[in-house]
Structures are given as C-alpha cells and as structure tokens.
Structure 1
Amino acid sequence: MGSYRATGEYRRDSRYITTRITADGQDGYPVAPGRYRLVVSRACPWASRAIIVRRLLGLEDVLSMGVCGPTHDQRSWTFDLDPDGRDPVLKIERLQEAYFARFPGYERGITVPAVVEVTTGQVVTNDYAQLTLDLSTEWTRYHRQGAPQLYPEHLREEIDAVNEVVYKDVNNGVYRCGFAGSQDAYDEAFRRLFSRLDWLSERLSSRRYLVGDAITEADVRLFTTLVRFDAVYHGHFKCNLRKLTEMPVLWDYARDLFQTPGFGDTVNFDHIKRHYYEVHKDLNPSGVVPLGPDLSNWQLPHDRAALGGSPFGEGTPPAAPVD
C-alpha cells in the first residue's frame, strides 16, 4: 500500500483510521473485555507488533484475536485458516467486510492489524503504531500480574526518538529498498538502511536493549523487521549488503529477543515467506517460495545477558501462548 514520488521513491500510504480505544472512551470506544477482536496476520510485521504486545501484557482473555492467512488479494485479507474460511467470532470471510460496515466503500488499504467491535462488526482502528501504545497505557486494568512496562513514562521521549528513526530507515526502509521505482531511490534507501543498522549495532554493543534495562516498545518494533531480514528482505527486497547473521551484534540481539517468551513463539516463518513471495507478484512473478534459508540457527545461544538488564524488568514472563 503506497505510491511513488517523481524520483521513484516508494512512499507508504499512512492514512489510517485513528479512532482510539481508551480507558475513558473519549473517542466513543471504551476499553472493555470481550468487546473487541484484534485481527492480524502472522505474516505482517506491523500486525506482529500487536501480537507480541498483546501476549506480553497478558491480554488474551480480554481481547480475542482473529488470524488471517498469509496471502491476500488486492483489496482484503481473508480468514482462510478458519473452517469454511470464516472468522468464528466476527462471522465474516474478508476483513474488508468490517471496514465497509463502518465506512461503506472504504477506498484506502484494508490493513492488519485492525481492531473490530464484535457486536457491530465495524472496524474501530487500524492505526498500528498507536494501537500497541494504547494496549500498554489504556488497557492497564487488564494487564496480567507481572506484565512488563513496555512504554514507561520516564522513557517515552527516548523510546519515541528511537522508534522514529528505526521506522524511517529500517521498518519502512526495507520496503523503500524493495519497492524502489528507480536506481537512485533504491541506492539512497539501501545506504540509509545499512547506515542505520550500523548505528543500531553500535548502540546495542554496550546495552542489552534499545532503551533502558528491559524490553520496551522500541525492541518490539525493531524485532519484527529483524526476524524477517534473512528470510525475506535480504533477497526479496534486495537488502543484500549483509545478512542479519553477518551482523554479530544485531544477530545476537535478535536471537536474545526471539528466545524471550512472547517474541519467537509468535513467529511463523512459513506465513512470512509465503506472504512476501506469493503476494508480491511484481517482484516475484512466478510466486515460487524459496526453501531457504536455514532458520534453525535462531535457537543458538547468545551472551547478551552479560550486558545486564532483565527482559521483563521486575515482572515475569508470559504464560505459554494460547492462540
């Protein structure tokens, strides 16, 4: 979902439904258990953020989750993983139906993650960046005991600053490489991406996590790009200066997070690979999905604990995943 500047630079369409679900219900949608359903795809890095945060905070019992398949057509994600291709709670086959229920003829992208109100079947928000912050700050009444502080008030300014540059150069930077419409646009995006990865390597060489001494929203946002890097972005998006496995600090950091409950246990590499290689027919006309790379190395040991800190701060790990 995006367009191109005259220079060939890929520009993501960032016009999202910005309605918020808040503790005081200021937008007309108050936090309430069972009222909403989080719709995701495990293929999508933006949706994966919400999956991880929901699990880390222990919100599974109050915010149900519907999982779309790894592929979609030009307009909508579909519930092809469910019996009869229909979400068992929302009773719809295509996420598009929830968007149209609130905005008939909705013309922007039908994106995940999206939160849908169960009783009306209407989409509430697809603003993925604000969504995870609100799960941390507005849903606190329903957090599990021992839930981590992913967006602590005293670190928010630093987290926001890190998130901004990581989004521009890394999260969206890989897409700016993959969908570049000219050589100059690709070259510029490529240089910015690997310059930022070098910056992150330097930052993480002396600290276990991006901000503070425990995992935060910043780590969640970087992880979902790093975990897809060798499987997809290195080849499919031409981000091929170095593999993640050839960047020692980031590779250790990514494995540390992958092996932390709530991160790696939400990842489905098959869905990730099928999505990018089957859906992006302009980049991969054959739709052939590569068998590699070998992904068993994500469980190799690392020594990141020697840098100090603890993944959950004073909290505890989440229970085993239930969905």
Structure 2
Amino acid sequence: MKRILVTGGAGFLGSHLCDRLIEDGNDVLCVDNFFTGSKANIAHLISHPYFELLRHDVTIPLFVETDRIFNLACPASPIHYQHDPVQTTKTSVHGAINMLGLAKRVKARIFQASTSEVYGDPEVHPQHESYWGKVNPIGPRACYDEGKRCAETLFFDYQRQHNLDIKVVRIFNTYGPRMHPNDGRVVSNFIVQALKGQNITIYGNGQQTRSFCYVDDLIDGFVRMMNSGPEVTGPINMGNPGEFTMLDLAEKVLSCVGGKSKLTFHPLPIDDPKQRQPDITLAKEKLGWRPQVTLEDGLKETVNYFRNALNV
C-alpha cells in the first residue's frame, strides 16, 4: 500500500484517478479547493477507510507525508481558467513549486498533469513531444497554456537540480462521466444542448479537429506512467489519435441522444487551435499504452451520465 496525494482530486479526472488508486489498494489523500471540483464526484469514497479529503489550495504550501504525488490541480476548461486568469497562472506555477517542494522534502515521486495546450495552435500535425509549440504568450488562453508550460519547466529543473523523480504527461481532449455540465468543453456542450433540445453551438465552420480520449483509458495511462521506471520522465502525450471534426462529433452526439437539435454557427474564439491530434508513439513504446474505448462507446456512457445528472 502506498500513500498517494492527488491534488485536484475532486475534479473530473482527479475523482476517477482516486477511484482507480483506491481500487488498486492504496491510501489516498484527495486535496481540492472546490473551485471546479465537486464533493459529489468523490462522495462515494468518503466512508472508505483508505480515503481522506482535505480542502486546500495548492498555491499555499502543504505539509503532509506521502510516497507519491499526482498534481492535477488547475481549472482545465476555457470558461473556468479564463474566469480568474491570474489565479489560473498561480495555480499552475505556485502549485507546481509547492508540490515539487513537498516531493523534494519527502522524497516522493511526482506526476504532472500537463496539457496538449502547450502546443498552442500547432504547425506540426499530429503533435509529437519534441515539437515546441506555437503559443500566444499574451492572449486570453495564455494563463493556462503558459502556466502549464512553466510548470513543465519547473519539473525538469527540479529533476536536473535536485534529482527529483518526475513524470510528465500531456493530456489531449478527454471526456466521460463527471464532466462539469457548464465547463464549455465541446463534448459536454454538445451533449447537454442535445439533451435539453437546444441548438448545437458550432464555432467557425466546424472543420477544426480534436481527438477524444475516454476517461478510463486516460486514467490507465496515468497509472502506467506513475509505475514506470525512473528513466521514463516524459513528457509523454496521452490521448486518442482518432481525429474528428466538430461536425463529426455533433453528428455522433445527435445520433446517440436523438431529438431535433439543429446546428448553429458562431465565430471562432481567439487563439482556438484548428487541429489537435496526439502522436502517441512514445506512450505505446514506453508504457504499452493505447486507448481501447471507441468514441461511440464512450459517448454512450457520457450521455447516460448527463441524462441522469440533468434528470432529462
């Protein structure tokens, strides 16, 4: 049994990770300030003898004993991270510094949940880990993009300077149960609008592409990465390389939900990437990992979750 700290543990990804870690027989400390996380996501774990919940903001140092740290704390959807962009940057940068300091003190292995947003609006397709990205450092998305890029810098500097045992994963679009219904991400947007009989909002001409990974696949990748040897530091891309346009996704959601929602077209948000697809060669080679859940199967589970959550 390992003592494992999960920051952002009451969020969409964090709560699924806590489930998996408990299932694997670990002692889990879930830390969250509940800005975007929800107690409902981890309510079923509260009575578990090896689960503990702590309300805490990672921008403030934390002094606990732990063997491993998963650092997932940070709002990840544009609506949420642009709500308080200064705090978003602080969460990524100060949060990384505080968790790295904790890992250094207790000699813990530490995992950073980075993002495909470090690639910005990419000029290389699909995106591989050696690509440095094309990011606007002063745009409205920069608080998240550059905050996560700086966090990666800190992780690798702590490794070089303090010989810290680090793991860095770059997450591509992930979806599944427990997504926030109002987080502005395309999968939850389309599903919620379709379930409510509203028109489906398409930005631009709908030809921009994304790759969608089901949450269970991603969490399996996290665990494989954390359990890999010390020579595997990353960054490693994790996502589903299947590429879909926004029109493709809308069609699949409407097919799954039914109803008579129509598509409406709106201007593209500033700095919205036109293409996003992971090269997962490294994940396959180093971790033996690849996604197993098809978009159709994952959407069914996600639609069922929202149908129950929204009571529609």
Write 1 or 2 for the structure with the bigger share of strand. Answer: 2
The normalised TM-score by structure 1 is 0.30
The normalised TM-score by structure 2 is 0.30
> Could you say which structure has the greater relative contact order, defined with CA pairs below 8 angstroms and 6 or more residues apart?
1
